[in-house]
Structure 1
Amino acid sequence: MAARRPRTAPEHESDDDSYEVLDLTEYARRHHWWNRLFGRNSGPIVEKYSVATQIVMGGVTGWCAGFLFQKVGKLAATAVGGGFLLLQIASHSGYVQVDWKRVEKDVNKAKKQLKKRANKAAPEINTLIEESTEFIKQNIVVSSGFVGGFLLGLAS
């Protein structure tokens, strides 16, 4: 029976060569992929829960919101459409007389007021958009799960 000799590390030509050992798990913990895409401000949710948990939480809340949005939207559309239908039937039957010139005048007046208010509200809207963008950047995984769930909720 032949005896085995323990393997020894091959000798290098010089001992000056030194290599740095890179621990990829530690690197991955410190450098998330979304940090490179969306900046260093990863939100608190990112550090508390796993990615799968975040996607599930976002997906479930998104599905609930989408489902409710769909149901409320259908109800609102039915109410508005039914109201217009009843108004037209009443108008054609002679129960209601509509002064269309007055309606046109009121609509034009409302348009002018909306234009004035829209110019004043622009900074508030910009601030809201910036805050929303920052929130989405900080919680990108939950936000993407929410969007997916919302679309599924609308479809169901």
Structure 2
Amino acid sequence: MASKTVEDAILQRTNHNHPNIFEKIFCEIRDTTSSNQMLIGMSLGWVSGFFALKIGRTTMMAIGGGMILLEMANANKLIKINWDRVNENFEDVKYEIKKQKESTWINEAVYFAEKYTSFSSGFLGGFLIGLGSH
């Protein structure tokens, strides 16, 4: 039995009434013209970049502040962090990720980006414009 490619997996899934919202969107974008793909990609990229900038600042402040507070509490012996156990958990997660062999939505998105470069370049350009505008 031949191994399935990412394209085969996407096509097989999209023939079943679009069970996933991403697959439905990808199918709609795939069927448009190159200039429309560029326009859709640019618009989605700008919105993503704009919100990444706005949400990213707040998120980074919260994560950074939490890390500083956690380390201060650890230094003052208010809490004790078992780093060996934390590292074991990370190793378990890395092992599970490597073990997973099925096609994920990330693989499908990468395949879509490689196949439809006009959408991808529009998205990247829009994302950078969105990051620059605030």
- Normalising to structure 2: TM-score of the pair? 0.61
Q: Distance in 1 between matches of 2:61 and 2:54?
A: 11
Whichever residue aligns with residue 98 of structure 2, its letter is N
* Structure 1 range deviating more: 132-141 or 104-113: 132-141
- Secondary structure of 2:78 counterpart: coil
- Secondary structure of 1:45 counterpart: coil
Alignment map for 1:16-35 (pairs within 5 Å):
none
* Structure 1 spans left out of the alignment, 5+ residues: 1-42
1:91 deviates by 5.0
Structure 2 residue 133 is the aligned partner of structure 1 residue 150: no
Match of 1:80 in 2: 63
- Based on CA coordinates, which of the two structures has the bigger radius of gyration? 1
1:133 deviates by 3.9
Structure 2 residue 40 is the aligned partner of structure 1 residue 45: no
1:84 deviates by 2.1
Counterpart selection for 1:110 from 89, 114, 121: 89
Structure 2 residue 80 is the aligned partner of structure 1 residue 99: yes
* Structure 2 spans left out of the alignment, 5+ residues: 1-29
Q: What fraction of aligned residue pairs are identical, expressed as a percent?
A: 32
1:121 deviates by 1.9
Q: How many residues align?
A: 105
**Paired residues of 2:74 and 2:80 also in contact (CA < 8 A):** no
**Paired residues of 2:73 and 2:79 also in contact (CA < 8 A):** no
* C-alpha distance after superposition, 1:114-152 (max 9, x if no partner): 232122224435x742x2244235533222211100111
Q: Distance in 2 between matches of 1:74 and 1:153?
A: 14
Match of 2:21 in 1: none
Whichever residue aligns with residue 67 of structure 1, its letter is F
Structure 2 residue 47 is the aligned partner of structure 1 residue 60: no
1:75 deviates by 1.3
* C-alpha distance after superposition, 1:53-103 (max 9, x if no partner): 4433321221011111112221111001111233344455x5x62224xx2
